[in-house]
Structure 1
Amino acid sequence: MIIHNSVVRIAFSLVVSLVFQNTTFAQRWEIGAGAGVTHYKGDIMPTFKPFTARPGGSVFVRMNWTRSISLKAQGMVGLLAGKDDAIKSDPLHQARGQSFSATMLEGIGQIEYNFLNFRTTSSRIVNNWTPYVFGGYGGTNISTRAKLASINNPLYLTRSSPNFVALGIGIKKEWRNQWNWGIEFGTRWTNNDLIDAVGYERDGDIGQQTTTTSNPATVPVFPYLFQKFQTPGTKSKDMYYYTSFSVSYLFYKVHCPTRR
């Protein structure tokens, strides 16, 4: 799986520009890793369901540009899943019986705003923790394995490569010396409605499924025949969430005053 070339170029340009920044900020760079859970929201599951969590893991590089602004590049791998159709009271939903599981590879660049003076030498008041908010943009590659009870052989595969806009909140805390820990929750609004293998493609048209099985002839490439089968699906794009706990190492540099 290869993340969109445009996203890779943007991330690379960001990292290169940061490397050659000439600032006097003492605690500038940190690297880290995180582990957490993902949640999906879309046509199969139109509301957030906390008990449908799937695992995810990430690595990142963060540059503390100023005492208020941090820039972060992150890669994440994880799973997604949804199976709400089978448990709904609506008989048409039960007849559709759509469920899916997916694997994904994500890359994102984000800007963080720190509310407190966290690990900084540019202020007399320094805090050992701070809440923050962030916004970002990225791309992801998703491979979906779906099941549909309304056809004879319900197994089929779809692949999608949506871009997304991310917003979220987090907390950073000094752990010891050059180590930090953090907790972060972020929402990804994608430009794709087929992560769950069911949805609208464009202009309100019902999406078709790209099908791959051991016997393709038994599983048609099809649009759904009734718009009722799209409910609770809407024309809203699919989205997912990532909640993580992370540990990072800070490359600390002490700036000694120049001798007069």
Structure 2
Amino acid sequence: MKFKKILISVTLFCLFSAASMAQVMEVGVNVGASGYMGDLNPKNPFDFSGAAFGAFVKGNLDPYWAIGIHYNYGKIKDNDATSSNPDFRSRNLNFSTPLNELSLQVDFNFLDYFAGAGGTKNFTPFIFAGVGGVLFNPRATYQGQEYELRYYKTEGKQYRNYALSIPYGAGVKFRISDHWALQTQLGYRTVHSDYLDDVGDKYPLADVYGRIDARHPLWINLSNPSQLPHNWNPGGQRGDYRKNDTYFFFHAGISYTFISDKCFTF
């Protein structure tokens, strides 16, 4: 909780500071798709697996620089059973999780793009980077039963359901009127956690089973759900050796710019 309060406080302070200097304020919404790279998808940087949407408030400091606060929601998932890798299929892990992200991002426009009226360019490619935080809660489904994996300590350790994220990416902006603009972008987030997918280290020395109750009547080995006896491997490697997962968004959106009485000065 302390991490989340600090992140929100710093983000709001930076945004309001930028807003006091900005000559043009911009608000927008976007929709698109989300995906992830990690222990169940180590190689494909375009493996989109869920819907995404978001909103932002941005202060345009001049035709090239902007700073804003962004909220994004997405859902990611993957399943070893559908993998082309036979070792992954025999491992038989799966997960899904919602992502709730709040971040502070800085845009740099490559062209002389005015977010309101009067710019010399009606479009520009741009890049962005920033800092933020993300909430997640991985779940797995076996034999029709869903389990919140974090509470079972499937690798014998507890991890937080929030983490620092570093967003970065690129896109294109199009001005369609004095106030309205369209944009599309692809952005990646490096996460200071290896547990978006509940997989990050080694198999525990003792198997971890899901609870048995009216809602969960079957015994499920959540740490090692492989159907193959030879996959029993206490202390062996369960995921890959990279220490950080990555998630990403592809967005298309629309924004409205509130133009101040004065234009940018140079």
Task: Pick the TM interval, shorter chain.
Answer: 0.7 to 0.9
2:147 aligns with: 156
- 2:253 pairs with one of 239, 246, 249: 246
The answer to whether the aligner puts 1:74 opposite 2:83 as a matched pair is no
1:7 is aligned with what amino acid? L
The answer to whether the aligner puts 1:5 opposite 2:16 as a matched pair is no
Equivalent residue of 2:17, what SS?
helix
Mapped to 1, the partners of 2:59 and 2:245 lie a distance apart of: 31
- 1:225 pairs with one of 231, 234, 252: 234
1:189 aligns with: 190
Unpaired runs of 5+ residues, structure 2, are 151-160, 225-232
Mapped to 1, the partners of 2:135 and 2:50 lie a distance apart of: 17
1:134 aligns with: 128
- 2:39 pairs with one of 43, 66, 77: 43
1:44 is aligned with what amino acid? L
- 1:65 pairs with one of 61, 66, 84: 61
Mapped to 2, the partners of 1:255 and 1:156 lie a distance apart of: 56
Retained in 2: the 8 A contact 1:30–1:249?
yes
Mapped to 2, the partners of 1:143 and 1:158 lie a distance apart of: 8
1:94 deviates by: 2.3
Retained in 1: the 8 A contact 2:80–2:91?
no
2:170 is aligned with what amino acid? I
2:61 is aligned with what amino acid? W
Mapped to 1, the partners of 2:144 and 2:115 lie a distance apart of: 60
Deviations 1:84-123 (A, max 9, x none): 4543443x432321111111211011111111111179xx
Matches within 5 A, 1:166-205: 166-200=167-201
2:63 is aligned with what amino acid? R
1:190 is aligned with what amino acid? V
The answer to whether the aligner puts 1:109 opposite 2:104 as a matched pair is yes
Deviations 1:152-209 (A, max 9, x none): 9974213521111111001111012210110111110001111111113xxxx66898
Retained in 2: the 8 A contact 1:82–1:99?
yes
Retained in 2: the 8 A contact 1:165–1:188?
yes
Equivalent residue of 1:242, what SS?
strand
Equivalent residue of 1:31, what SS?
strand
Retained in 1: the 8 A contact 2:36–2:47?
no
Aligned length: 240
1:20–1:238: structure 2 CA closer, same or farther, 3 Å change rule? same
Mapped to 1, the partners of 2:183 and 2:126 lie a distance apart of: 10
Deviations 1:204-252 (A, max 9, x none): x66898967744994567586253543xx22331111111001000002
1:17 deviates by: 1.2
1:118–1:111: structure 2 CA closer, same or farther, 3 Å change rule? same
Q: Does 35-44 or 48-57 show the bigger shift?
A: 48-57
TM-score, with structure 2 as normaliser? 0.78
Retained in 1: the 8 A contact 2:60–2:115?
no
Query: Which segments of structure 1 move beyond 3 Å, counting only runs of 4 or more?
Result: 49-52, 152-155, 205-224
1:129–1:234: structure 2 CA closer, same or farther, 3 Å change rule? same
Root-mean-square deviation (CA), in Å? 3.2
Aligned identity (percent) is: 21
